[in-house]
Structure 1
């Protein structure tokens, strides 16, 4: 195979004998829950078989963003940039200018905090066709504030030209990857990696960029959710059936652009408490986007509540403990809904 003139050697990442499973990449799946391994990496590697313009870049984290699957399948199209996120985004911008479709992967905190200006000026302002896929969104690691991207959506929502996607599960991620490639322009994906739960395939769900979809209907409560919180919302809906509370779940995978028409229609159906659930700070995320939308359009539901992470730096620890402490576990969310009703 002819080697790309842009090729860089794929070198081992981390220190010692190599990367090991740790709390950094703890699975979000409950015991016994169906999962799929590395859906992003496998979907990208498969798509690249017929798309020679797809390239992958990592800032020393391909193992922890599942891009190593792509690197193994297409080593001549994988670029290891080292621990230099600003260089990562600049290089992706350069490759996009040459007609490639670059997928730049790192952790969400590093993209949002360290590389913001480079994404803004080198990629978004020029509306370049760069796809940014970032692991550890929200509270998906127990490693504390240095790795918990609790404010990444708030940081990126104000950036013009940037599409923002928060996928729920492996089934959706597999559909998101080709949709990202089909879309012309920069995209930011909050990526679930490793052994990712499978949920939405049971509901016959199909991802469409920019579209919110009702996963289940209900007369008492409308949960507007995104990312892994749609999985939690569906679990809460089942739990509240025992209390004879009928819960609808509206999944919003595309946070920007927001599917305003669908949200307004569903929130405008009378008599239902509206709850927005997200794996993100209650400041600047989907909750405030929906609240602003409803206010601007004069849609006033009987009640409006948010399930999200508090406006503070979170603790380190085991994910199940942290999810319960900060209110995004199934049990914690169900308790709050019962209180609000």
Structure 2
């Protein structure tokens, strides 16, 4: 009987350690829209909280939840809702891009400092081309050019959220026009609408040096929320919409019906979305090679929990490059199929 009890205890230990929300890397931080970078051995995360923006620092991604949140900016001018701050580094300075506003007045703003958690000045409106509703913006450098990518409206009404890109002459100055690179027009990204959305774009370079923009599709208020991929063709122009190829389904989501063939839905969370590739200095030039897994942060809701914004938590996961994948399209200019790297995401 004693041997049997020990065996049962071991089995229970194995089962409880491999199931439930903890297996999905729930950091315990009840928040949305994670943005995390690594500088040396320090992980720096930024979040909207308390009517402003706070920064946390820790020695690991999982340690961020227990680290003190230091307020670095407050909405002193009453701009409105503060959403999705994104921290990057450029030329030795830290920049935090964020959305603030109410209703159709949401626009992108930026603050900067020489230190990650102090010294930020007043917010500056980012004068994006056309001046339309804009959220979830981030800066990156590709091909020797600074770029800004964000989610926005074509006009002044909430019909759908598209992904746009524009050149930047420096971290705070857009130049030239905005260019649309993705619209939520595929059946698997129109399961939930009003509006249909493409949002939360994040740039990364694959092992061949090609640019990817991984983004969230389907409503963030729904457990259909998921991550999908845009891959720039070899030698392509980031401003040319037909040089981008879209994954044929979600790459990270909780519903099999919307997943790309060969990709499985999540086991422990519902509606994973708005992610952050945890890159050295937040620089896509440090994007990982093929082979090992690398850190990822995303928000989601634990399975078995009502899917609502208040139940979102930061989760630590990982990702790896997956080679030899075709993205196909129809009834558009250019080749119908593009072959290259995709991504696998792990809870």
Name the structure with the higher helix share: 1
Shorter-chain TM range is: under 0.3
> TM-score, normalised to structure 1's length?
0.26
